[in-house]
Homo-oligomer: A and B are copies of this chain.
Amino acid sequence: MTTPAIITHSMNIMMMVTRTKLFPMTSVGIRSTKQRTAVSAALNELEDFRSTQEIHEYLKERGDSVGLTTVYRTLQALSAAGEVDVILREDGESVYRLCSDAHHHHLVCRQCGHTVEVEGPTVERWADSVSAEHGFTDVSHTLEIFGLCANCSAVSH
């Protein structure tokens, strides 16, 4: 009953297609450029959260060199548009990842960066009710779980 490799591969392809997000050029005045396309492509290929500098480096190695300033601007625009998720690493650096559309949180390996999306309807309700109890409005929350993934746990004995 093991999942055949071929199926896993197809699933990966499906996931990539599902994850594809382009720079939001829908509204007037927003233009499609090869730099924005390259950044979107990089996010599409990278599985885990990456910093602006890492994505810039990735593009350079890949051949699609894009100015660092442009990578900063593009990632910020994508996150402002809600097309990518951002989290602050413990050192305060912002890292980006192309995620699914639904509201979710992350389980992040602090060793290798491996990321799993997780949902918790109970947590959402708790956050809403505790906010309301204290009269807070216009609330948002951040919730991330850091640890060692199964792989990294095994490696370190």
Given contacts A88-B92, A107-B131, A131-B107, whether A143 and B142 have CB atoms under 8 Å apart is: yes
Partner of A135, one of B130, B136, B137, B153: B153
How far, in Å, is A131 (CB) from chain B's closest CB?
A: 6
Is A141's beta carbon under 8 Å from chain B? yes
A88, A126, A136, A148 — most chain B CB neighbours (10 Å): A136
Is A149's beta carbon under 8 Å from chain B? yes
Which residues of A line the B interface, CB within 8 A? 88, 90, 92-94, 107, 109, 116, 118, 120, 122-123, 126-127, 130-131, 134-150, 153
Sampled A-B contacts (21; CB under 8 Å) = A92-B92, A107-B130, A116-B134, A120-B123, A122-B122, A122-B123, A123-B126, A130-B145, A131-B147, A134-B150, A136-B148, A136-B150, A138-B148, A139-B145, A139-B146, A139-B147, A140-B145, A141-B143, A142-B143, A142-B146, A143-B143
